[in-house]
Amino acid sequence: MLREEFNIKIKNYDYYDEAFTHASYVNEHPKENLRYYERIEFLGDAVMQLCVSEYLFKRYPNLPEGKLTRLRAAMVCEDSFSKLALECHFDEYIRLGNGEEKANARKRPSLLCDIFESFIGALYQDLGKEVVVDFISRVVFSKLDQGWFDHLLDHKSELQELVQKDGDAKIVYEVLDAVGPDNDRIYTMQVVVNGQVVGQGQGHSKKAAEQAAAHQALKQLR
């Protein structure tokens, strides 16, 4: 399943067995000499921290540390990881003891988050950092482009920092269009840097349309 969906060429299945095994399962199978996920999750947690940090650091070369930290915290958290674990169908692979199964642990966000991290730990041990980066590019970083974390990003400030890096620059936002009734109006705006249109965007408020225009400009200028 994992192999097909993400084209992961597993070398050593033992790491993944460990990553998807809960302590309650180990306790119910004392003779099988199994390991449960917690140690490998310890490793996976640190791997995720570095991969996400490095990605954000390079992708937003002018974003101050405070914003990088907020963005990382939004990406590396239980809410985010538990959703990703479900998206990757990790809940189906977990080996749980009977008691935990009855307590519906399989769908518990804290466990799903742990399992996402332990999977990352297994992938890192088995195939190394590059494969991990490739995997999380598809399942995590792509969410940035889909706007999952846009509320944390201030594209206008970022655009300003980018274009004023090499000296003064004049940035103007202009309304191009406003359609629809008062309570559902959609604005279209463009952003002009030193007389040149660099981006355009829409939104339900002028502020949102400006952010969308700045976002498009950043994509083009980078």
Active site residue 54: no
Interface with its own copies, residue 168, by CB under 8 A: no
Query: How far apart, in whole angstroms, are the C-alpha atoms of residue 209 and residue 202?
Result: 4
Active site residue 117: yes
Query: How far apart, in whole angstroms, are the C-alpha atoms of residue 164 and residue 191?
Result: 15
Interface with its own copies, residue 14, by CB under 8 A: no
Q: Choose, from 18, 45, 126, 158, the residue flagged as catalytic.
A: 45
Sites for its own copies among residues 122-161 (CB under 8 A): 129
Neighbouring C-beta atoms of residue 51, cutoff 10 Å = 21
By beta-carbon proximity to its own copies, the closer residue of 94 and 213 is 94
Bind-site residues: 41, 114, 117
By beta-carbon proximity to its own copies, the closer residue of 63 and 198 is 63
Task: Please select the residue that binds its own copies; options are 2, 8, 34, 68, rule is CB under 8 A.
Answer: 68
Q: What is the distance of C-alpha 59 from the center of its chain?
A: 13
By beta-carbon proximity to its own copies, the closer residue of 36 and 173 is 36
Stretch binding its own copies (CB under 8 A), from 67-75, 86-94, 134-142, 150-158:
67-75
Residues 6+ apart with CB under 8 A from 195: 170
Query: How far apart, in whole angstroms, are the C-alpha atoms of residue 120 and residue 125?
Result: 9
Query: Which residues pair with residue 50 across a beta bridge?
Result: none
